[in-house]
């Protein structure tokens, strides 16, 4: 045997051994690089999370329904808790205790008692949630003074709605003179007056009062700079408009949506002025809020890739084990179901930060697997990917329903309207208007398509989608496929759309036309529906031709939906629901 082994060391075998050794070395290197991405994904995570990933892939993926049921609230308990928190908020302890007796899950009762006389937001950083800073007057130290200031704001609002701008100005001046409102509050009212002049197609007056508001309120009145920018643009003064628009993002009192809008319009103004080096800079600023209307347009104009995440793992026993170790994550989900988002964020802030990838993934898997579209959308603000990004899958869930007569319009478009109209609540009803169902149709409008309709059937999602689809088809026909105008008509009615088109007959800029709509609700509605539509189109793979058109400065025209032969394209998305 020794002789045989020694023979392999002879010169005639050395070349063969070297070749074999090199081949083995190459195979080992290849195996290392193939496994490297998986190693890189867990880089920086604690050992427990690495074990969790491995365990989740090896265990049975089924979790008993009774286990899942204990990890979130029922719809009935979520509604009851909302009432309990409200009762404690107004000091009605007896009413809250009476409601608590109806609960099947009492895990949030102690949190509800904390709400009595305490604001949980004081335990959170000021920037938590990314909200704009809110101005609070140092003058109003008692309830009577605060109520008096609120009454002035309400009076001005009513006068502006009735187009009595002169009296609104007089009320503001008198209130400021006697100290009912302070200088910053007066500036805020002047900014609203400036906006009223803008919507009345009086840009010179709008600019005058917007500039006055800025002189008084400065950085605390970003709305005034926004109105001044639009008024300047309407007058053809793009350089002056750029200065006003550029001012808005510098204010901590401007919300992310307004910052994105002003940045995009600053880029447009810079383009008009030939300052091309600054255009991309302002577009990048607008794109910092990539899920907003202007953020989406800016991202497309830059040619930047959209960074949405549409994948979440199914809920497994490994995830259930993680949530058992971190019960605060479960309480956070339940608090969000009850509408107590600040409390939910506090619970998450108290969890082990080193294990955040674990409980984030487990919480996302639980919510997207077990909650209905309206509920998962409601709690989406506290859900994140393991690396801490917003969970788009939860913010833009796919509904499990289809129109009873099938899709004729793009499913992404119907999802866009349903998300904005009802938040995917099939039984939603507006007590003021009577609008009902997934697409919030007025009974009179619905009966124009089905004379024998029983109003209660509007709560059937298949019926609501079918009738809403017919109404949208009519609006698209009426507007020659203009998506902006169809959305305006859906929200404010075809009559108002016609009136505003007459008032601003000389405006052929589709984005400017949206910003000149007198109804704040309708302006926000159009932009949110269009943002929904583009995001759902990206999720469902239907293309974003209308976004490309808007990014190029053209109208958003609806492209006909090509229905799949067997609905396989939509079914593949819908069957996965929120996963």
Range with the poorest average pLDDT among 288-292, 340-344, 557-561: 557-561
Burial class (CB in 10 A: 0-12, 13-18, 19+), 451: exposed
Same domain, 550 and 456: yes
pLDDT value, residue 52: 38
Q: What percent of the chain has pLDDT over 90?
A: 73
Whether residue 395 lies inside any domain: the answer is no
Contact 550, 433 (CB under 8 A): no
Whether residue 55 lies inside any domain: the answer is no
- Here the contacts of 166-175 (C-beta below 8 Å, separation 24 or greater) are 168/192, 168/193, 168/196, 169/193, 175/149
Query: CA-CA distance, 91 to 81, in Å (whole number)?
Result: 15
Element holding 314 (H helix, E strand):
none
CATH number at residue 191: 1.25.40.10
pLDDT value, residue 279: 96
Same domain, 226 and 155: yes
pLDDT value, residue 205: 98
| Mean of per-residue pLDDT scores for the chain | 85
SS3 assignment, position 482: strand
pLDDT digits (tens, 9 = 90+) for 164-195: 999 999 999 999 999 999 999 999 999 999 99
Burial state string for 477-505 with b = 16 or more CB within 10 A and e = fewer than 16: eebebbbbbbbbbbbbebebbeebeeebe
Closest CA to 515 of 284, 159, 267, 223: 223
- Which whole-number Å values give the CA distances from 265 to 131, 238, 245, 249, 326, in the listed order? 21, 10, 7, 11, 45
Scanning the structure block, which residue is given the tokens 């701008």?
Answer: 165
CB under 8 Å to 79, separation ≥6 — which residues? none
Transcribe 231-248 into DSSP letters: HHHHTT-HHHHHHHHHHG
Whether residue 284 lies inside any domain: the answer is no
pLDDT digits (tens, 9 = 90+) for 394-449: 999 999 999 999 999 999 999 999 999 999 999 999 988 899 999 999 999 999 88
Same domain, 464 and 333: no
Burial class (CB in 10 A: 0-12, 13-18, 19+), 558: buried
Dig out the tokens for 75 from the structure.
């719809």
Query: CA-CA distance, 365 to 312, in Å (whole number)?
Result: 6
More confident residue, 125 or 253: 253
Residue 452 pLDDT level (bands cut at 50, 70, 90): confident
Transcribe 352-408 into DSSP letters: -GGGHHHHHHHHHHHHHHHS-HHHHHHTGGG-B-TTS-B-HHHHSPPPS---TT--S
- Which whole-number Å values give the CA distances from 278 to 242, 258, 274, in the listed order? 11, 19, 9
- Which whole-number Å values give the CA distances from 352 to 78, 169, 236, 320, in the listed order? 26, 54, 55, 17
pLDDT value, residue 136: 78
Dig out the tokens for 81 from the structure.
């808790």
Q: Tell me how far apart the 2 most distant CA atoms of the chain are, in Å.
A: 113
Range with the poorest average pLDDT among 53-67, 211-225, 310-324: 53-67
pLDDT digits (tens, 9 = 90+) for 382-391: 999 999 999 9
What is the total count of domains within the chain? 3
Transcribe 9-76 into DSSP letters: TSHHHHHHHHHHHHHHHHHHHHHHHHHHHHHHHTTTS-HHHHHHHHHHHHS-----HHHHHTTS--HH
Residue 562 pLDDT level (bands cut at 50, 70, 90): low
Same domain, 464 and 562: yes
Scanning the structure block, which residue is given the tokens 């239907």?
Answer: 542
Whether residue 300 lies inside any domain: the answer is no
Whats the size of the chain, residue-wise? Answer: 579
Dig out the tokens for 303 from the structure.
């040619």
Catalytic positions are: 421
Same domain, 111 and 158: no
Taking the model in full, what pTM does it have?
0.84
Same domain, 442 and 534: yes
Closest CA to 495 of 485, 508, 483: 485
Residue 453 has pLDDT above 90, yes or no: no
Same domain, 530 and 456: yes
Mean pLDDT of 335-357: 93
Query: CA-CA distance, 538 to 378, in Å (whole number)?
Result: 21
Same domain, 416 and 504: yes
pLDDT value, residue 450: 86
Whether residue 88 lies inside any domain: the answer is yes
Whether residue 38 lies inside any domain: the answer is no
pLDDT value, residue 137: 79
Residue where a domain terminates, one of 180, 206, 237: 237
Query: CA-CA distance, 223 to 558, in Å (whole number)?
Result: 32
Residue 94 has pLDDT above 50, yes or no: yes
Residue where a domain terminates, one of 220, 237, 254: 237
Whether residue 23 lies inside any domain: the answer is no
- Which whole-number Å values give the CA distances from 403 to 410, 413, 466, in the listed order? 12, 13, 4
Whether residue 223 lies inside any domain: the answer is yes
Residue 561 pLDDT level (bands cut at 50, 70, 90): low
Same domain, 532 and 449: yes
Residue 5 has pLDDT above 60, yes or no: no
Contact 391, 383 (CB under 8 A): yes
Residue where a domain terminates, one of 237, 268, 301: 237
Same domain, 509 and 549: yes
Identify the domain containing residue 191 by its residue range: 143-237
HSE of 468 in the Cβ direction (CA atoms, 13 Å)? Answer: 32
pLDDT value, residue 61: 59
Same domain, 175 and 82: no
Same domain, 83 and 180: no
């Amino acid at each position: 045997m020794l002789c045989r082994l020694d023979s392999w060391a002879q010169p005639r075998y050395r070349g063969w051994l070297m070749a074999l050794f090199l081949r083995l070395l190459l195979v080992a290197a290849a195996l290392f690089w193939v496994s490297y991405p998986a190693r890189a994904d867990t880089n920086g995570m604690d050992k427990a999370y690495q074990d969790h990933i491995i365990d989740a892939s090896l265990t049975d993926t089924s979790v008993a329904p009774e286990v899942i049921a204990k990890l979130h609230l029922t719809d009935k308990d979520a509604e009851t808790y909302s009432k309990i928190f409200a009762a404690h908020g107004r000091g009605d302890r007896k009413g809250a205790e009476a409601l608590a007796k109806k609960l099947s899950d009492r895990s949030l009762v102690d949190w509800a008692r904390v709400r009595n006389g305490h604001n949980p937001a004081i335990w959170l950083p000021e920037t938590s949630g990314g909200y704009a800073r809110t101005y609070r007057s140092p003058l109003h130290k008692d309830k009577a003074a605060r109520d008096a200031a609120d009454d002035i704001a309400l009076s001005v609002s009513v006068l502006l709605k009735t187009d009595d701008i002169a009296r609104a100005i007089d009320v503001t001046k008198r209130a400021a003179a006697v100290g009912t409102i302070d200088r910053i509050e007066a500036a805020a009212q002047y900014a609203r007056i400036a906006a009223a002049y803008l919507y009345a197609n009086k840009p010179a007056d709008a600019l005058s009062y917007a500039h006055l508001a800025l002189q008084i309120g400065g950085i605390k009145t970003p709305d005034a700079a926004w109105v001044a920018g639009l008024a300047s643009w309407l007058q053809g003064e793009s350089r002056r408009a750029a200065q006003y628009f550029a001012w808005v993002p510098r204010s901590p009192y401007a919300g992310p949506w307004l910052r994105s809008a002003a940045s995009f319009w600053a880029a447009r103004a810079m383009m008009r002025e030939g300052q091309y080096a600054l255009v991309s800079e302002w577009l990048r600023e607008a794109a910092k809020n990539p899920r907003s209307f202007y953020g989406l347009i800016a991202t497309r104009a830059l040619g930047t890739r959209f960074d949405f995440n549409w994948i979440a793992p199914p809920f497994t026993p490994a995830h259930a084990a993680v949530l058992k170790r971190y019960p605060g994550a479960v309480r956070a989900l339940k608090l969000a179901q009850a509408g107590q988002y600040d409390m939910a964020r506090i619970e998450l802030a108290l969890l082990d930060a080193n294990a955040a990838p674990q409980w984030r993934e487990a919480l996302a898997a639980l919510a997207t697997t077990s909650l209905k579209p309206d509920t998962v959308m409601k709690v989406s603000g506290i859900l994140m990917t393991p690396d801490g990004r917003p969970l788009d899958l939860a913010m833009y869930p796919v509904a499990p329903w289809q129109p009873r007569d099938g899709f004729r319009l793009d499913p992404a478009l119907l999802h866009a309207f349903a998300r904005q109209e009802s938040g995917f609540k099939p039984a939603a009803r507006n007590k003021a208007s009577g609008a009902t169902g997934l697409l919030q149709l007025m009974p009179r409008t619905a009966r124009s398509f089905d004379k024998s309709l029983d109003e209660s059937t509007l709560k059937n999602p298949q019926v609501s989608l079918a009738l809403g689809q017919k109404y949208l088809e009519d609006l698209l026909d009426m507007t020659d496929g203009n998506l902006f105008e169809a959305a305006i008509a859906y929200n404010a009615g075809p009559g108002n759309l016609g009136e505003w088109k007459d008032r601003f007959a000389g405006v052929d800029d589709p984005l400017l036309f949206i910003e000149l709509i007198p109804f704040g609700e309708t302006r926000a509605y159009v932009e949110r529906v269009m943002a929904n539509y583009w995001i759902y189109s990206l999720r469902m793979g239907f293309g974003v031709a209308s976004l490309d058109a808007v990014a190029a400065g053209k109208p958003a025209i609806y492209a006909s939906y090509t229905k799949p032969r067997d609905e396989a394209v939509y079914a593949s998305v819908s069957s996965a629901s929120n996963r």
